Amino acid sequence: MNVLSDQLLNMERHDSIFESAVRALPLPVCAAFGDADGVRPVAFAGSGRILGTRDSDKVAASFPNSVRASGNTVLASAGVNRKVPRDRRVAVMFSGGPAAGGHNVVCGLRRALGPNNTLLGVRPGPKGLIRGDLFEITEADTQRVINTGGFDFLGTDRTKIKTDAQFDLVRQTCVRHGLDAIVVIGGDDSNTNAATLAESLFRNVKADGSGVQVIGVPKTIDGDLQIGDLLPISFGFDTATKIYSEMVGNILQDTRSSLKYWHFIKLMGRSASHVTLEVALQTKPAVTLISEEVAEKKQSLAFIVDQIAQAVAVRAGKGIGHGVVLIPEGLIEFIPEMSALITELNEALARHATEFAAVVDAEKAAFVEDTLTPANARLLSSLPAYVVRMLLAERDSHGNLQVSLIPTERLLVDMVKARLGVIDDRIRFAAHCHFLGYEGRCGAPTLFDAAYTYNLGLTAGSLVLDGRTGYMATVTDLDRGGVPRALPLTGLLNIERRHGKDEFVIEKALVRMDSPAMQYLLSRRAAWAGDDLFCSPGPRQLWGQVARQMPISVALNSGAASLEFRIG
């Protein structure tokens, strides 16, 4: 073995040159926590602000303990906690899809708890909590995972804790491991779960009749867990959108280099179009579809296709035979006619689940058409076979269509091509399709996500040590030093129909048409369609002068003066 071979061997298991270096990156902390060398947990006090939804009364009836304790009041840090308890045992778990920065939440949490309390890792996710698979997280562990991407330190899963049997098993885990608190790092569904757990574990878990605290941490690359200035963005969104933006920027550069292709790029992000909006603001492509706009303007599939085809034609007229179209993952569901179809399909498939499963594949479409209203049956039969197949595919554990399986990008290419044949068949149109998704969830966090999540961990740990339960940790004022706060989970819940019945959920935040970020897109979109005005944001940098950028949409929506974030 020569020297280089030895070096390569040493890189195995998370020790690339990059991974070794990022572990040493310093992380800033909010002034409330002191400084990075002398971090101290904070205490909290009510900020006077109360949260609520249209379903607050029903929430109060179903979550009496939590609502009575919090009064649905937003908390803000109120100085260093001078009565930090000892010997607390706190469990932490990831829940749902991974997002960059999760490891730093764990590291911040460990740091806030300090040497006198114990942090236990649950693996993997809610399933691990039910099973009781916990282990103690050491200082060495956190030094190993800090600033690295992914959730692989603990793993994650999507089990929803809902049956009595499951709640009993969780109680057993709490007792067996002597837990005082559980921190749930997850998205809207996982934080709904956290609210339910907080209520269920409020008291009478331990022998002395006391309960187990539950604190949520807002994670999701989709960006659909955001609440104005109280939660500017969920963590992971910045990293994912910067990864996608680099790829889209590279492809834009390719279109103008190769001069012959259109690229239709679908972006992960589930229902909301936050990811697509952010990537558009970062790269300025010719066409950007925003699902919420489609829904609000009641656009039909044919209208959307025609819009894209017209852009292709206009550019072709100027000698520009290339371009990029950004497509949000959830588009199909937001096209009113398609949405009506899917809603009826969701209900029909739930209703006829057993019979449907028994029908052979080739006859599934016909079987389902018979159960639909005539208008929807007609729409379904008018779609290409590969789209019908997808619309009838398996639902996720929430009874929702797995929209990421529908090749919307391919469907649009095929339909745009057909439409161009009608508009002017001399227009040359060659297109490639992409779906950017998994590659954005587990990349190494940007400096923004790394710092934000470390401070979310410090906040979550502080909430535990301050005796709080049923709160979600947040850090606000990200361009002005950062302020640790906490949102009462019950103040975020409302009722939604899922699996054909009412459930408490945290409503997904959608792109608002009147938001500054959306308004900026609208103000520039025609110019971007007419000529190549794109830019390439490049690979995210962890060192040097360009490393400190927050998401453009977050900066616009929060009225920031620049893209530079400032924590500490």
Q: Measured from the CB atom, is 16 or 65 closer to a copy of itself?
A: 16
d(Cα 85, Cα 465) in Å, to the nearest integer? 6
- In this structure, the number of other CB atoms found within 10 A of the CB of residue 239 comes to 28
Smallest gap from residue 472 Cβ to a copy of itself (A): 22
Smallest gap from residue 288 Cβ to a copy of itself (A): 14
Residues forming beta bridges with residue 89, ordered by sequence position: 118
Q: Measured from the CB atom, is 8 or 61 closer to a copy of itself?
A: 8
- In this structure, the number of other CB atoms found within 10 A of the CB of residue 426 comes to 7
Smallest gap from residue 272 Cβ to a copy of itself (A): 21
Smallest gap from residue 4 Cβ to a copy of itself (A): 6
d(Cα 302, Cα 416) in Å, to the nearest integer? 9
d(Cα 346, Cα 395) in Å, to the nearest integer? 8
d(Cα 368, Cα 109) in Å, to the nearest integer? 50
Smallest gap from residue 547 Cβ to a copy of itself (A): 8
Q: Measured from the CB atom, is 123 or 419 closer to a copy of itself?
A: 123
Q: Please give the structure tokens belonging to residue 73.
A: 């009041």
Q: Measured from the CB atom, is 52 or 132 closer to a copy of itself?
A: 132
The set of catalytic residues is 222
The crossing angle, in degrees rounded to 10, of helices 361-371 and 336-351 is 100
Q: Measured from the CB atom, is 343 or 536 closer to a copy of itself?
A: 536
Helices (H), 30-163: 56-62, 64-70, 102-113, 125-131, 139-145
Smallest gap from residue 338 Cβ to a copy of itself (A): 24
d(Cα 432, Cα 413) in Å, to the nearest integer? 8
Q: Measured from the CB atom, is 125 or 484 closer to a copy of itself?
A: 125
d(Cα 475, Cα 221) in Å, to the nearest integer? 17
Helices (H), 2-63: 3-10, 17-22, 56-62
Strand order from edge to edge, sheet including 323-328: 287-288, 323-328, 262-267, 431-436
Smallest gap from residue 245 Cβ to a copy of itself (A): 9
DSSP, residue by residue, 156-224: -------SHHHHHHHHHHHHHTT-SEEEEEE-HHHHHHHHHHHHHTSBS-STTSB--EEEEEEB-TT--
Helix (H, G, I), strand (E, B) or coil at 73: strand
Q: Measured from the CB atom, is 445 or 482 closer to a copy of itself?
A: 445
DSSP, residue by residue, 222-258: T----BGGGB---BTHHHHHHHHHHHHHHHHHHHHHH
